[in-house]
Amino acid sequence: MLEVKKVYKTYPKAGKGFRKERLSVLADVSFQIHAGDWAALVGESGSGKSTLSRLILGLEKADSGSLLLEGENPAAWRKEKRGQMSVVFQDYTSSANPAFQIKDIIMEPLKAFSRNHPIQETAESLMEKVGLSKELAERYPHELSGGQLQRVCIARAISTKPKFLVLDEAVSSLDVSVQAQILDLLDTLKKEMDMTCLFIAHDLQTVAYLCNQVMFLNEGKIVEQIETKNLANVQSAYAKRLLEAVVRFRVE
């Protein structure tokens, strides 16, 4: 489904002078995600996760290397197969237009390329799928809780029945109890829908619940890729440190 091969990405450093130095953000990043897989990309702040996400979404281009979705570059793939890639971001407040009713937020992607869907009926069906009362359909974002609003964003993301879903820190800004509810929802959708998913996060415990493989990104490099069932056997010092943090949290 997704193949990332020897990807490099740099940005110019701030400063004066004719020759601008460049900051390396991604270096020799390679991995594959097969159709139907739920893969996690785990790394701390500054590891390069956000940059890699933008490349995969086709919002930026790599300096070198290749990113291919079903053999095509992401921007071309998204244009050709509209609605087949969706993303859920961390900041659910800025992801939802405050002037729109909930039903219109959910239906935004469908209305962009098809006008044959009854808005109220389809929105209510999607709301039911993500555990929201249909009575919220005509409310506005500021009238919902954070957990409810993230469910709205998930409903919008799955409205087009995408083949590829990117969860970009999708639960990290939620309270722990709400996180658990959203993870349960995502687990249900994983079983019900034929989707491939990349879950980008800094919290190993969160993604281990859903994903069948984990890639550890540190200082712009994939330092280890392992099946979730084998997490106890990670080899890199970085992966071990993140795993130990989860173990300490559970003990405490």
pLDDT digit string (tens) for 25-64?
899 999 999 999 999 999 888 888 889 998 988 888 999 9
Mapping DSSP to helix (H, G, I), strand (E, B) and coil, where does residue 8 land?
strand
Number of domains in the chain: 1
> Percent of the chain at pLDDT above 90?
27
Question: Given this model, what pLDDT does residue 244 score?
Answer: 82
User: Nearest 10 degrees: CA dihedral of 204, 209, 214, 220?
Assistant: -40
> Percent of the chain at pLDDT above 70?
92
Residue 74 lies in a domain: yes
**Average pLDDT over the chain, rounded to whole?**
85
Residue 222 lies in a domain: yes
Residue 138 lies in a domain: no
Q: The domain that contains 29 carries what CATH number?
A: 3.40.50.300
Residue 189 lies in a domain: no
Question: Given this model, what pLDDT does residue 76 score?
Answer: 84
Residue 91 lies in a domain: no
Taking the model in full, what pTM does it have? 0.85
Q: Region 132-137: what's the mean pLDDT?
A: 90
Domain range for 237: 1-81+198-252
Residue 182 lies in a domain: no
- Scanning 115-194, the segments in alpha helix (DSSP H) are 119-129, 146-158, 176-192
More confident residue, 234 or 113: 234
8 pLDDT exceeds 90? yes
Residue 13 lies in a domain: yes
In which residue are the tokens 């930026």 written? 60
Question: Given this model, what pLDDT does residue 252 score?
Answer: 42
Neighbours of 75 (CB within 10 A): 15
Residue 249 pLDDT class (50, 70, 90 cuts): very low
Question: Given this model, what pLDDT does residue 247 score?
Answer: 55
For the stretch 144-174, pLDDT in tens is 988 888 889 988 898 888 899 999 888 877 7
The 10 Å CB-count burial string (b at 16+, else e) for 191-202 is: eeeebbbbbbbb
Residue 71 lies in a domain: yes
